[in-house]
């Protein structure tokens, strides 16, 4: 039996992953979790950086407290900005290693950096917090002004630091120090670079409409194109927590589906943070009222059985036919649940407040859709090889194969 920890954050869906005889599609990346020195403070940012080419100092450590060289920072920033590193003219710097020439050329061509001198980029030097602020402001076109309370920010850095503050990217290293001349650590570099990317992209987008799809799903229609969504970038009133976020459509407008904690029937929730900044105006949704009552799945005359699928029920054993709810009325299980599939091809719209175990013989292709498991998801009891298709599935614990 193998166990795989649930990812804390993800940007891309993996096309497929083969594990213990199961083909899992649309599982989420867990890049930051392989590093033992990445705390929750850095996890989201480090995941993003590793998706853009960053590597740890070793297989087990990212080096969050270590300094980062200017040449390594240049490669990562150029990757994030998707600069043309092949056609950019030569920078004229003589101290840039071959692996980073294209990135440094592109950064100079875009006016993001001019190096230390005409011929020296300072590749082996650690990048300072002030230097990074300049790169980030120019590269991600950060705008906005906020009075800086720092005593160590000279006129050269004032505009860049002010833009970082205005976009909620950093607060400095203390109430009165930005740390302008201090080398930035790899963990802090990750946070500032990631937040700058978010600030740039979300400044060009505008949330237009919110809609409750079911008791644990909210649809957000957004004007503009987003390529990255994370739970932390959507914050609501009323104690509503966002657990997962995914892009379900991406054209002129972006549609995002959020998996949330359980929404209270008839409750109004207001979106207060979009990206990194407070939402201007009133953008809210109201969860539809429900008449569902607690259920007894063994009594067909009580809500929650086929024909009236919504409502709450206790943990226990259920057949595949009985497990699923609907978009309008998801099922809520208060405890551990075992589902005997018996050739069932899909399970959907359910919240399990405990562990979920699938057993028996499933269809060769099994779709799991809009399911939240607050414990572990145990797939080890299935008796046949299954091709899983996961859409909007959240597992708080571990997935066991």
Written as one string, the DSSP assignment of 230-261 is: -GGGEEESTTPPEEEEEEEEESSEEEEEEEES
| Whole-number CA gyration radius for the chain | 24
Cα–Cα distances in angstroms (integers) from residue 52 to residues 78, 161, 349, in the given order? 10, 24, 34
Give the integer Cα–Cα distance in Å for 46 and 235: 21
State phi, psi for 344 to the nearest 5 degrees.
-70, 140
Helix or strand run (H / E) with residue 213 = strand 206-214
Closest CA to 351 of 333, 326, 335: 333
- Note the residue count of the chain: 401
CA 73-75-79 angle, to 5 degrees, is: 115
List all residues 6 or more positions away from 8 whose beta carbon is below 8 Å from its beta carbon. Answer: 30, 32, 33, 40, 43, 44, 47
Token code pair at residue 109: 């061509």
Q: Name which CATH class applies to 206-286.
A: mainly beta
Contact criterion met (CB below 8 Å) for 230 and 239? no
- Could you read off the pLDDT tens digit of each residue along the chain, which spans 401 residues? 333 233 322 222 222 222 222 222 222 333 567 899 999 999 999 999 998 888 899 989 999 999 999 999 999 999 999 999 999 999 999 999 999 999 999 999 999 999 999 999 999 999 999 999 999 999 999 999 998 889 999 999 999 999 999 999 999 999 999 999 999 999 999 999 999 999 999 999 999 999 998 889 999 999 999 999 999 999 999 999 999 999 977 777 899 999 999 999 899 999 999 999 999 999 999 998 864 434 444 444 334 344 435 678 888 888 888 898 888 788 999 888 999 887 788 899 899 999 999 988 888 888 898 899 999 999 888 888 888 888 888 888 888 88
The pLDDT assigned to 300 comes to 40
List all residues 6 or more positions away from 210 whose beta carbon is below 8 Å from its beta carbon. Answer: 218, 219, 220, 221, 269, 271, 283, 284, 285
The pLDDT assigned to 311 comes to 77
The pLDDT assigned to 391 comes to 85
Give the integer Cα–Cα distance in Å for 124 and 118: 16
Secondary structure class of 279 (helix, strand, coil): coil
State phi, psi for 223 to the nearest 5 degrees.
-80, 125
CA 13-15-18 angle, to 5 degrees, is: 115
User: Is the sign of the CA dihedral 212, 218, 219, 224 positive or negative?
Assistant: positive
The pLDDT assigned to 31 comes to 57
Cα–Cα distances in angstroms (integers) from residue 378 to residues 23, 30, 316, in the given order? 15, 19, 14
Q: Where in the chain is the domain with CATH 2.60.40.1220?
A: 206-286
Contact criterion met (CB below 8 Å) for 333 and 315? yes
Task: State pTM to two decimals.
Answer: 0.67
State phi, psi for 199 to the nearest 5 degrees.
-60, -40
Contact criterion met (CB below 8 Å) for 154 and 177? no
Alpha carbon 79 to chain centroid distance? 19
Cα–Cα distances in angstroms (integers) from residue 228 to residues 14, 175, 201, 225, 356, in the given order? 15, 31, 9, 9, 29
**H-helix segments, 167-225:** 186-202
Beta bridge partners of 357: 338, 378
């Amino acid at each position: 039996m193998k166990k795989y920890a649930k990812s804390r954050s993800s940007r891309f869906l993996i096309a497929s992953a083969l594990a213990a005889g199961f083909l899992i599609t649309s599982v989420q990346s867990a890049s930051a979790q392989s590093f033992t020195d990445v705390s929750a403070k850095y996890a989201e940012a480090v995941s993003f950086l590793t998706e853009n080419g960053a590597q740890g100092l070793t297989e087990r450590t990212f080096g969050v407290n270590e300094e980062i060289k200017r040449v390594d920072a240049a490669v990562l920033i150029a990757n994030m900005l998707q600069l043309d590193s092949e056609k950019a003219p030569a920078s004229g710097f003589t101290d840039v290693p071959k692996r980073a020439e294209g990135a440094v050329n592109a950064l100079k061509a875009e006016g993001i950096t001019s190096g230390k001198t005409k011929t020296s980029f300072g590749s082996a030097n650690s990048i300072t917090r002030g230097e990074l602020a300049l790169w980030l402001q120019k590269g991600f076109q950060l705008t906005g002004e906020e009075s800086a309370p720092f005593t160590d920010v000279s006129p050269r850095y004032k505009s860049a630091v002010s833009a970082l503050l205005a976009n909620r990217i950093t607060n400095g290293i203390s109430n009165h120090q930005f740390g302008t001349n201090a080398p930035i650590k790899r963990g802090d570099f990750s946070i500032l670079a990631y937040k700058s990317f978010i600030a740039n992209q979300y400044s060009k987008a505008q949330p237009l409409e919110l809609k409750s799809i079911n008791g644990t799903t909210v649809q957000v229609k957004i004007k503009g194109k987003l390529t990255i969504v994370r739970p932390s970038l959507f914050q609501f009133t009323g104690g509503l927590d966002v657990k997962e976020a995914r892009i379900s459509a991406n054209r002129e407008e972006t549609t995002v589906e959020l998996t949330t904690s359980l929404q209270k029937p008839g409750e109004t929730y207001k979106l207060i943070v979009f990206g990194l900044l407070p939402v201007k105006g009133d953008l809210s949704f109201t969860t539809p009222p429900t008449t569902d009552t607690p259920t007894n799945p063994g009594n067909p005359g009580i809500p929650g059985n086929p024909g009236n699928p919504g409502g709450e029920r206790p943990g226990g054993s259920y057949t595949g036919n009985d497990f699923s709810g609907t978009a309008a009325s998801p099922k809520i299980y208060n405890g551990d649940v075992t589902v005997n599939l018996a050739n069932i091809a899909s399970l959907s719209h359910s919240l399990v407040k405990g562990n979920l175990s699938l057993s028996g013989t499933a269809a060769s292709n099994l779709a799991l859709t809009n399911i939240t498991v607050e414990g572990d998801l145990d797939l080890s009891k299935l008796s046949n090889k299954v091709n899983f298709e996961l859409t909007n599935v959240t597992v708080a614990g571990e997935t066991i194969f």
